[in-house]
Chain A
Amino acid sequence: MSAARMDPAAALEGHASAWRTRVKPALRVAFWGALFAAIVAAGALGRRGTLGARLGALSIVLAVLAVFVARWLVERRSLERRDRLVRRLILSEDRLLGEKVLRALALKERAEVDPSVGSSELATVHLERTLARIPPELVAGRGERVARRFRSAALALSVAGAVGVGVDPPRTIEGLDVLVARHGVAPLDMVWLEGMTLVVQPPPYLRIPEHHLDPQGAAAPQGSLLVVRGTPVRSGRRLVLSDGTREVPFATDGSEGVVARFPLERDVTLRVAARFGDVLVREPLPMPVQAVPDAVPLVVLEGAPRQVELERIDRLDLSYVAADDHGLREIDLVLRSGGREERRVLEKLDGQSRVEQGAQGLDVNDTFLRRMFLPVAVTIEARDNDVLEGGRWGASAAITIVPPAVGALEAERFKLLAEARGGLVDFLAWLVEPPAGADPKALEQELGPRRTATAKALKSATERRPGGQPVPSGLASFLRGQARRLEDGQPKGAAANARAEEVVLAVDGAVRALAMRDAQTVAKRLGDAAEEAADGYAEAQNPEKTKHGTERATVALGVLDIGAENLLALEGLGGDLGSVTRGELRRIRRAVGEKSYLHAELAARHLAARLRRPTPSFAAAGGGVEGGRHGASHEPSDAPSQADKRFDELAQELGDLTREHAALLDQVERELEDAGNAAKTDDLRREAAEHAEALREAVRDLPRSGAREGSGRAAAGLARDHAQAMAERLERLDLSAAAESGRTARGLVDEAQKKTLAPETSSDLTDPGALERARAAVEKELAWVEQAREAVERNARERVKNSLNEAAERERSIERRLGEMSGRASQSEASLPESALEQLGKARGAMKSASSELAQGHGEQGLQAQREAQRLLEQGGSERTTEDSNAQQRETHEGSRRGGNGMQTRAQVPGADDQHRALEFRKRVLEGLGQERGGRLDPAVRRYAEGLLE
């Protein structure tokens, strides 16, 4: 009995085992099939590359795994407990039997814990019998059916997956590659292009042809275009060329290939890649390319860096060489001072030249330099032809020009003139209060030498160049005139020291007037320095620029300090403005001390505005209102000397007279020319043409020029040329020139005849008949020319007779007025220098002569004398004390240098007593004579040159 009994647990395990045996293999197959299909699906979805797609793809695979894991857990749980096993394997197949088994199981379990239910053994037996009724095919059959379903599913999924892969296998790989990408780059590199080439196209301005590059590593000029070409391995991919940060898409090249152009701006490592959404799948091989930058032009300025003082140079010669690796486009001269900059284009180039060499002069009177108060850094800067960045500038080292301190020249000049004035005052003191107990006779003897020495000292002061600048020409002339007055001694009947007093006051007035003008000029320039300081402090208010701004302002304050000192030296207005400047500088520094750059800027701007309005601190004609000055003391209001004003009036009158005389001279010239032209009638012109033709015919047999120099044939050839020139001039009715050519031709014919008669070589031999015919013709035409000239002149004289009479009268009138002015200039307090008076005297003589000749109808002679008079007038005249022809010449020079039209039309010719200026002027004129060819100034220059040659 017991042997026939079956253990219930074993019985149930047997059914479970039968189930597993059938279902588990099928389930495994189904799992792999599902996983395969899921991966293929995930690849297809993940290939889109977006985050959502990639998450979706991953979810598919995970879902399959989850399903199967869940299934396995459920299965295991179901088979672990007997009741569940019964329910899963038996109840679902045979409900009645299953319920019986379940009841039997329950009875057995209750009986084991509760004896009141019944015998445990009996319950066990009941269970065994019930289990025994379960037919073995029941569980096996069910297991077989389930396994069949799994196998079918596995087959279907495997087929689907295989189809997915089979259609385009790389898609799945790409998809899976994309799926596992990190930081946007897929881990598995793939080949995208075949037959790939890398070509570089350098920037056009470099003029380098395009060429292939080694993809394994190469260099190319910065700014080049890198062109990658190839044929896609697989179509339908979005191919790009990427350096890791920038991508350029490939575009079709019109056939089967694709092309991408990548601008090379820096060193890059390029890769061809396919873009899938956010993910790149790259080619395996990188293409490193080094970007070679366009070098900045190299500029070398000869002698730089160095520092020069403006006072010590007349001109700064700048020699430079500029070089660039590809080509130069422009070369500039750059001047920088403080916050100011001026660029002057020296050369505009076509970008082809790689090396340029040049030289440029910078004149000491350059406007920029003259206006600067801070050191000026002079550099040469060159721009290359890099069009990508608008050209790169290379700069040379700087030559720093240190300008003189603002007002230093003016202060030094004032000191010199004040010292000269002091000498006069000392002389006056000696006159007014001679040394006590001195012998009157000895004093009398000493007077002359003292007076001469004082006058000489005054004249010498006008010839000196304080600070390298001459005393203004007008003032110098005035001071020399005063020196002459002093030397002239005491007028009869005047007090012993009257003349000395007049001269002292005259000189004092002029010197003070100059000091006032200088103070105004200096103050205006200091205004610029104050503005620079204000700009510096404005900059300093920006915390990032505080250091630079304060440094800039500190330099400007230094300039103001020295400028104020120089202003103070100028006394009068200068002293006032200098005092104001010092006070304002203290105010600025107070603000700086409190780190209030805003206040420092405000104070500096106020100072700049004040200095640009260089008037006295208090100026009122009536002496002030508010709390008035009733009964207050008066200072003298009359100017102690009017000499400088009278001098200026005289200079003005002389200038007007000189211009009037020049106009008269022009008029006479024009009238004589017109009269001469009118006398050249058409009949004369026809006759002259006939004579010209006859002359040409007569010299036709002479040899042509070209024979050995110095030979008889050469002389004959030249004679032929001159005869033909005479013929041409005859046709133009230029009778004077025709006569001159004729005389030359005649001389040459004579020379040729001599050499023919006594030949030294064969070159001396010429046809004697031809020479004779030529000589006779030339002689004949010369005679005719002389006759014609006389007739023309006679005719012209008749025509211009009345006009010349009028001109003579006007010449006399001008001469009389000049006489009156010369009288004033020699006797009044507005005295001209000796040399000027002498020239004016000579000018009067020439005017008298001109007047006489013109009155007699001798136009040419009169004109000659007028020209002489004009030259002397120009030498003898003077500028006003407020004028400075040196400065005007400097400005004109500067104007013309900068392309301006700065024609000086009021240039004064310095007299001989102003040796320094005369020498300078002479040098300039002689230089000019070598260059000048005609033009408006030609007659004036010729007149002066004639004077120089005297």
Chain B
Amino acid sequence: MRRLALVLAAVSLAVTAAASTPPPARTISDAITEIDLERARHLLEVTTGDATALALERARLSIYAGDCDAAQAQLSSPTLTESKEGASLAALAKSCARATAAGFVMEDREHGITLRLQDDADRVLAPYLFRTAARARDAVAADVGIELIKPLRIDVVRDLFSLSAVSGLPLTAAETTGTLAVARWGRVIFLSPRATPLGFPWQDTLAHEITHLVVTRASRDRAPLWLQEGVAKREETRWRAARPFDDPTWADVLARNAFFAGRSVGLDKLGPSIAMLPTPEAATTAFAEVSSFVKFWLGEVGPSALELLLLDLRATGGDSADPALKSVSGYDLGEWNALWRQNLRETPPRDPREEVERPAPIKDGLKFSRGTRLGDLLLDRGHAEAARREYRGALEAAPSEPSVHWRLARAGLLVGDTAGFRAALGPRDKLRGADGGWLALESRALREDGRTAEAAEASEHALALEPYLEDVACEGAVRATGGSAPLPADADRRALCESARTPPP
């Protein structure tokens, strides 16, 4: 029945589309937007007409193909840069060419993924990036009902400055909201985990951005921002199995709290990008709201409605998604928004008893930070035992903070106190979140206990957060400053471990 509906919808949309043939430049533009670069290239070869428009499309195609050099050359003509679009494209091509020149390119032909690394030191992460990207792409394609044309292009940049240069996202906006990745110009532009001192959930971020590419292709970039981000948030964890500390209710809880506290951003007030909202808090709230809304909407209309909605948007377009939304689900955005808010209001708050069982918050921020820093300084000077004392003080101030557990456990290992190491790690359910270092040491403990499958999961989870942390990269093989420790057996992991211990010159 679902298939029949899809076929009928496709046929009717095809008839509608055939009735009005778009102008040639528009056709090329659509092909580029859908990341069908071969088709766009062919169309550019055979199409004649407005030379300026075609030249702009040619430059845009070059940028989509990641050839910013060529785009810069193509946009060097003053006639092209006279227009606002041309000037902006030329500025992007220039900054992009500088950031990507002589990038280190790696290809996974089997999975159809092209990786361009600004810093070739990141090549040790490439096997993991390829695997994650391939899995996420396939999972998202299955959910959304459309596949990306290969190759999937990923640019890994070294810092926010380069992310801004390659993507065109204003640097100040990226810094304000803490943008980690952008799906733009037909590819994922992704910040190296090396750039963030504490790492970040790079696998989920990659899946999130790949979803944007898929949704853009499926809707011909006509999906409204709430739908783009909502679907991306939904898909960012669906490509993998559930992990500890995953909280499926976070979006609803955050959106509900924001709603009652009057901090709600609103689905229709997201602006051009969540990355350009004024504060990181607003960005977090916005993500929670779109995630909660899309989850609610799909729960009401069923997953196939998403595929239909994207198809409708792709074929009919327009300034508003309301007609497509109404056509697919019976209500427009305003009505769905009201229904969702009603649902948020009616959702009962969490059981008060949960508060008791929930991991304790940080009691004394200053004591926590002092103990942590003193411990780090002591450990760095080789005073592991004294460091443990300071860490214990920090733990009293922040008993559920996994980073302190990790530090204490690590110091325990360094003084050879195995029992202390395990005691310092503590039970998982008493922690308030995931931490790469803690997961790496938990993996080590599990491995020592012979629970290899669980150990591998913890290790994978740690890698998904802080791949360049030495304890993570080296699978919990802790060593003192300047000391030595065994390398992992797996070749990829060994390369990662060696890179974490001795950065390339």
Q: Which residues of A contact B (CB under 8 A)?
A: 421-422, 425-426, 428-429, 432-433, 501, 504-505, 508, 576, 579-580, 582-584, 586-588, 590-591, 594, 596, 598-600, 602-603, 605-606, 609-610, 613, 615-641
Contacts and interface: CB of A to CB of B under 8 A. Distances in A.
A425 B403 CA distance: 22
Q: Is the interface of B mostly helix, strand, loop or mixed?
A: helix
26 contacts: A429-B381, A576-B195, A579-B194, A582-B505, A583-B119, A587-B104, A596-B102, A600-B101, A610-B162, A620-B178, A620-B179, A624-B178, A624-B196, A626-B179, A626-B205, A627-B205, A631-B246, A631-B434, A632-B435, A632-B465, A633-B402, A633-B435, A636-B365, A637-B369, A638-B366, A640-B372
Contacts of B370: 501, 505, 640-641
Contact of B101 (A583, A599, A641): A599
B134 interface: no
A627 B202 contact: yes
A586 B175 contact: no
Contacts of A504: 374, 377
B494 interface: no
Contacts of A640: 366, 369-370, 372-374
Contact of B99 (A432, A596, A606): A606
Contacts of B284: 622, 625, 628
Contacts of B165: 606
A9 to B, nearest CB: 98
Contacts of B434: 631-633
Nearest to A600: B102
Contacts of B362: 634
A625 B386 contact: no
B438 A639 contact: no
B195 A618 contact: yes
Contacts of A505: 370, 373-374
B102 A599 contact: yes
Contacts of A616: 197
Contacts of A623: 178, 280
A629 B201 contact: yes
Contacts of B208: 626-627
- Chain B: interface size category: 35 or more
B401 A634 contact: yes
A428 B378 contact: yes
Nearest to A589: B102
Interface string B446-470: 0000000000000000000100000
Contacts of A619: 160, 175, 178
The residue in A429, A504, A596, A605 that gathers the most chain B C-beta atoms within 10 A of its C-beta is A429
A624 B180 contact: yes
Given A508-B377, A583-B119, A627-B208, 10 more contacts: A428-B378, A429-B386, A504-B377, A616-B197, A620-B177, A622-B279, A625-B274, A625-B283, A633-B403, A636-B369
B30 interface: no
Contact of B196 (A422, A433, A618, A638): A618
Contacts of B373: 505, 508, 636, 640
Nearest to A426: B381
Contacts of A636: 365, 368-369, 372-373
Interface string B361-399: 010011011101110011011010110011000000000
Nearest to B406: A633
B433 A634 contact: yes
A627 B236 contact: yes
B386 A428 contact: yes
A603 B98 contact: yes
A583 B433 contact: no
B97 interface: yes
A629 B194 CA distance: 16
The residue in A605, A627, A639 that gathers the most chain B C-beta atoms within 10 A of its C-beta is A627
A329 B469 CA distance: 66
B374 A633 contact: no
A583 B120 CA distance: 7
A286 to B, nearest CB: 59
Contacts of B179: 620, 624-626
A833 to B, nearest CB: 24
Given A429-B381, A618-B196, A633 B283 contact: no
Given A619-B160, A626-B180, A636-B372, A425 B198 contact: no
A629 B97 contact: no
A587 B322 CA distance: 48
Contacts of A624: 178-180, 196, 200, 280
A340 to B, nearest CB: 22
B72 to A, nearest CB: 9
A404 to B, nearest CB: 21
B307 to A, nearest CB: 23
Contacts of B402: 633
Interface in B178-230: 178-182, 191, 194-198, 200-202, 204-209
Contacts of B95: 606
A429 B378 contact: yes
A613 B120 CA distance: 22
Nearest to A587: B102
B96 to A, nearest CB: 10
User: 5 tightest CB-CB pairs across the interface, nearest first?
Assistant: A622-B280, A620-B178, A627-B205, A636-B369, A583-B119
Nearest to A605: B98
Contacts of A599: 69, 101-102
Contacts of A639: 369
A633 B461 CA distance: 13
A625 B275 contact: yes
B369 to A, nearest CB: 3
B178 A632 contact: no
A632 B102 contact: no
B145 interface: no
B280 A618 contact: no
B296 interface: no
B82 to A, nearest CB: 24
B433 A631 contact: yes
Nearest to A421: B377
A413 B182 CA distance: 40
A635 B198 contact: yes
Interface string B253-285: 000000000000000000000110001110110
A504 B380 CA distance: 14
Nearest to B161: A610
B421 interface: no
B102 A425 contact: no
B159 A580 contact: yes
B299 interface: no
B102 A594 contact: yes
Given A618-B195, A631-B245, A636-B365, A432 B280 contact: no
Nearest to B439: A633
Contacts of B281: 622
A432 B205 contact: no
A504 B196 CA distance: 27
A580 B403 contact: no
Nearest to B244: A631
Contacts of A429: 378, 381, 383, 386
B121 interface: yes
Interface string B20-56: 0000000000000000000000000000000000000
B504 interface: yes
B327 interface: no
A617 B236 CA distance: 24
Given A429-B381, A639-B369, A620 B175 contact: yes
Contact of B158 (A617, A621, A632, A633): A617
A422 B381 contact: yes
Given A429-B381, A433-B383, A627-B206, A591 B365 contact: no
A580 B372 CA distance: 27
Nearest to B374: A501
A552 B379 CA distance: 44
Nearest to A583: B119
B287 interface: yes
A308 B359 CA distance: 64
